[in-house]
């Protein structure tokens, strides 16, 4: 389990770091709305994270049932954290784009790890 935790953290951390960098570039330099940016990075890096963790970390076949469960978890996390970001932006008008992206990435990471580890990748979840 410790080995899985280490590799899950490494894979997820790598995809979150890549997603954070891409999000920041799209928001800061291309001035794309942060809601649209987070949707794009959510879909691209969410699938990449599931695929890499399934194949290389937990050595499980990609199954439709687990993938749907995974999508549900990341969708819930995405909506919850995006709502929190919008509330923060509304109430704290002077938040920097970097702080917005870091908050989104950090909160998403913690919630996604918890949900996916216990409800998707545990061996007794078929």
Domain boundaries, the chain: 2-121
Nearest to 15 by CA among 42, 45, 54, 43: 45
Rounded to whole angstroms, the Cα distance separating 2 from 8 reads: 10
Provide the pLDDT confidence category of residue 4 given band limits of 50, 70 and 90: confident
Q: What is the pLDDT of residue 32?
A: 95
Spatial separation of the C-alpha atoms in residues 4 and 25, rounded to whole Å: 31
pLDDT in tens, 61-109: 988 888 889 989 989 998 999 999 999 999 988 889 999 999 998 898 8
- pLDDT band at residue 125 under the 50/70/90 scheme: low
Q: Please tell me the predicted confidence (pLDDT) of residue 1.
A: 64
Mean pLDDT of 28-51: 91
Q: How far apart are CA 51 and CA 65, in angstroms?
A: 14
């Amino acid at each position: 389990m410790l080995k899985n935790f280490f590799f899950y953290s490494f894979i997820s951390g790598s995809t979150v770091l890549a997603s954070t960098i891409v999000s920041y570039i799209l928001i800061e330099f291309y001035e794309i709305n942060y809601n649209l940016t987070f949707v794009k990075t959510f879909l691209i890096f969410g699938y990449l994270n599931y695929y890499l963790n399934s194949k290389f970390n937990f050595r499980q076949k990609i199954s439709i049932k687990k993938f749907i469960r995974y999508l549900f978890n990341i969708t819930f996390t995405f909506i919850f954290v995006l709502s929190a970001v919008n509330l923060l932006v509304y109430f704290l008008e002077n938040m920097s784009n970097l702080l917005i992206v870091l908050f989104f990435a950090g909160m998403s990471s913690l919630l996604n790890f918890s949900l996916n580890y216990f409800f998707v990748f545990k061996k007794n979840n078929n």
